[in-house]
Amino acid sequence: MNPEVHFDPLNLEDRSNLESTAALVIFWARDLYRTGSATRFYSILDLSESERTRHECDEACPWCGQVTLNRK
């Protein structure tokens, strides 16, 4: 019998599961994470998955990050 897989969204130790688009949006929104407990949350994230996608977006449209944040 396989053990049930349990995902704990508050498990801040497992920060390697961010997909590139999620990491990218969090990177673009980094100014929103500068106060309170959000600062700690942001500081432990591994946003390296965003680097390739961010580079591709910046080449195609330098203001892509701002457009994405404004639509949220």
22-61 tens-digit pLDDT: 999 999 999 999 999 999 889 989 999 999 999 999 999 9
Distance between CA atoms of residues 48 and 23, nearest Å: 8
Domain layout of the chain by residue ranges: 20-71
Crossing angle between the packed helical segments 64-71 and 50-60, to the nearest 10 degrees: 110
User: What is the pTM assigned to this prediction?
Assistant: 0.70
Three-class secondary structure of residue 3 per DSSP: coil
Band the pLDDT of 18: cuts 50, 70, 90.
Answer: confident
Specify the higher pLDDT residue, 17 or 11: 17
DSSP state of 11: -
